[in-house]
């Protein structure tokens, strides 16, 4: 377990989440004071030096994003924290919401100070009711002690944060759908352009960042961007919260430096596969991520290296699947998820997911033909290349990667054979 770090997680579980005293006693709000003593440009420069990239999945350089937001000449500007942590296998934002909400609040307040924003929102998924309560208490405490609300720290700067509860739609994690939902509309993605940064909440410029992204900001301003960057690789600065789940000995959220390999994550931190089973594949970045075979485990956690192999880290979910599982059966589960979560707005996603479900079920039931593999690829292609938003674009990622690396298993299912003995070919659909 020595390969983990704790730049932001050091005090998780050690201080009371809504206690200003305890948070201040471990250096809380010092970064806000530092930011208030600097010009916005200086703070942005520090974030740029940190090489921090958005931790929600898109990995856009945070410093650049904030600089663009700063340069937009239209007010008021809004700050939204995306805490709609809906990607299956992802539960790292919950650690911050439940244990370090004041760190998030501090990070958002720094962003607000830089952009002179009067108002922020934390959009927390509806399935996290306890987290909503904890964050609400933390907001209240920060307001009572002058770290939030009017005239923060005796200055003329005022900033308030409101909690918005999601209502269960996965698509609301997509930034523009999240903004729609925050406005009170049904959560469906908007057409871009105009981009959220120019035309977001109520048509005003809006900065949307993930919980984890905001949480790194206090550290960066206190310790310096260069120090943060030094923990990572040349292209990906600092640490990342990863969520290990599946067939592993040690599951949970771990803070690790960029540059660590997937093998180290799984065997050194995760403790390997239990019960003497063999690793079959790893799904990287949640249900919308690719499934990769054992041979690729020496890939380093680094946005650039992953990209060069056609992979993405996504939100940081690492799901380990052992050989007791069937690739087709696994895919059925993923497909059902996206079929349920498509918002229905665009043809490739609405109809594509419906078709994928029918196709995967054919394999699971032993009714598929060789041609069905081609049809999955055809549907996958149109979804990936023509869907309206990221949901539809990434929904077939698991399909395309599993067919790429485990085509044998699909072919076996055409012949009514399931090597993991999971699929039932008796003609009865197994749920």
Partner 1 sequence: MINLSINNIPVSVEEGTTILQAAKMIGVEIPTLCYHEDQSVKANCRICLVEVKGAKGLLTACSTKVFEGMEVFTNTRAARDARKTVLELILASHPMDCLKCIRNQKCELQKYAAEFFIEELPFERTYQILPKDESSPSIVKDLSKCIKCGRCVEVCQSIQSVGAISYSHRSDEYRIATLFELPLNETVCVYCGQCSLACPVGAIYEKSEIEKVWKALGDPEMHVVVQTAPAVRVSLGEEFGMEPGSIVTGQMVTALRMLGFDRVFDTDFTADLTIIEEGNEFLQRLKNGGPFPMFTSCSPGWVNFVETFYPEFMANLSTCKSPQQMFGALAKTYYAQKMGISPDKIFVVSVMPCTAKKYESAREEMNSSGFRDVDVVLTTRELARMIRESGIDLKKIVESEFDAPFGITSGAGVIFGASGGVMEAALRTVYEVVTQRELGKLDFEDVRGLDGIKEAVINIDGLEVKIAVANSLSNARHLVDKIKSGEREYHFIEVMCCPGGCIGGGGQPIGTVNRVRNERIKSIYEVDANMPIRQSHKNPVIKQLYDEFLEKPLGERSHHLLHTHYRARG
Binding region for partner 1 (CB under 8 A)? 169, 171, 186, 188, 191, 339-348, 350-355, 358-359, 375, 378-379, 381-382, 384-388, 393
Instruction: Yes or no: say if 206 and 197 are a contact pair by the CB < 8 Å rule.
Output: yes
CB-nearer residue toward partner 1: 168 or 274: 168
Give the shortest CB-235-to-partner 1 separation in angstroms. 20
Calpha distance 353→417 (Å, rounded): 25
CB-nearer residue toward partner 1: 194 or 426: 194
Give the shortest CB-183-to-partner 1 separation in angstroms. 15
CB-nearer residue toward partner 1: 1 or 191: 191
Q: Ramachandran region of residue 278, left (φ > 0), alpha (ψ -120 to 50) or beta?
A: beta
CB-nearer residue toward partner 1: 292 or 359: 359
Give the shortest CB-384-to-partner 1 separation in angstroms. 7
379: nearest Cα among 401, 404, 349, 405: 349
Give the shortest CB-195-to-partner 1 separation in angstroms. 13
Give the shortest CB-49-to-partner 1 separation in angstroms. 29
Instruction: Yes or no: say if 90 and 211 are a contact pair by the CB < 8 Å rule.
Output: no
Give the shortest CB-282-to-partner 1 separation in angstroms. 25
Return the half-sphere exposure (C-beta side, CA atoms, 13 A cut-off) of residue 75: 7
Map tokens 């409101």 to a residue.
162
- Which residues, 6+ apart, have CB-to-CB distance to 169 below 8 Å? 86, 177, 181, 187, 341, 343
Instruction: Yes or no: say if 129 and 97 are a contact pair by the CB < 8 Å rule.
Output: no
Instruction: Yes or no: say if 430 and 424 are a contact pair by the CB < 8 Å rule.
Output: yes
Question: What is the maximum alpha-carbon separation in the chain?
Answer: 73
Calpha distance 155→167 (Å, rounded): 37
CB-nearer residue toward partner 1: 28 or 348: 348
Give the shortest CB-334-to-partner 1 separation in angstroms. 15
CB-nearer residue toward partner 1: 216 or 388: 388
Calpha distance 380→345 (Å, rounded): 17
CB-nearer residue toward partner 1: 265 or 403: 403
């Amino acid at each position: 377990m020595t390969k983990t770090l704790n730049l932001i997680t050091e005090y998780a579980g050690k201080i009371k989440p809504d206690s200003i005293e305890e948070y201040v006693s471990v250096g809380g709000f010092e970064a806000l004071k530092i930011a208030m003593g600097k010009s916005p440009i200086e703070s942005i420069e520090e974030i740029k030096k940190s090489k921090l990239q958005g931790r929600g999945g898109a990995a856009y350089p945070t410093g650049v994003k904030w600089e663009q937001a700063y340069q937009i000449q239209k007010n008021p500007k809004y700050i939204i924290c995306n805490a709609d942590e809906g990607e299956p296998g992802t539960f790292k934002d919950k650690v911050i919401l439940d244990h370090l909400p004041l760190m998030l609040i501090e990070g958002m307040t720094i962003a607000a100070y830089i952009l002179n924003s009067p108002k922020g929102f934390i959009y927390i998924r509806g399935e996290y009711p306890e987290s909503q309560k904890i964050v609400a208490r933390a907001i209240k405490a920060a307001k009572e002690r002058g770290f939030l609300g009017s005239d923060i720290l005796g200055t003329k700067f005022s900033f308030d944060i409101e909690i918005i509860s999601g209502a269960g739609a996965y698509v609301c994690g997509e930034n523009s759908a999240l903004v729609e939902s925050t406005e009170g509309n049904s959560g469906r993605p908007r057409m871009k352009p105009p981009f959220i940064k120019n035309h977001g909440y109520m048509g005003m410029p809006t900065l949307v960042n993930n919980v984890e992204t905001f949480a790194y900001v206090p550290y960066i301003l206190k310790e310096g961007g260069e120090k943060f960057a030094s923990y990572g690789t040349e292209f990906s600065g600092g640490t990342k919260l990863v969520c290990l789940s599946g067939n592993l000995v040690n599951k949970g959220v771990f803070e690790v430096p960029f540059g660590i390999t997937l093998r180290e994550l799984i065997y050194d931190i995760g403790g390997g596969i239990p019960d003497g089973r063999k690793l079959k594949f790893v799904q990287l970045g949640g249900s919308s991520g690719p499934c990769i075979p054992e041979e690729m485990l020496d890939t380093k956690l680094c946005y650039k290296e992953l990209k060069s192999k056609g992979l993405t880290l996504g939100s940081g979910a690492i799901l380990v699947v052992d050989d007791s599982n069937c690739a087709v059966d696994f895919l059925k589960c993923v497909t059902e998820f996206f079929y349920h979560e498509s918002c229905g707005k665009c043809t490739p996603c609405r109809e594509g997911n419906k078709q994928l479900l029918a196709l995967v079920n054919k394999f699971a039931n032993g009714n598929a033909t060789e041609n069905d593999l081609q049809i999955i690829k055809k549907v996958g292609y149109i979804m990936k290349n023509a869907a309206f938003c990221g949901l539809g674009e990434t929904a077939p990622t698991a399909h395309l990667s599993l067919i790429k690396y485990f085509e044998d298993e699909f072919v076996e299912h055409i012949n009514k054979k399931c090597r993991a003995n999971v699929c039932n070919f008796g003609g009865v659909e197994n749920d």
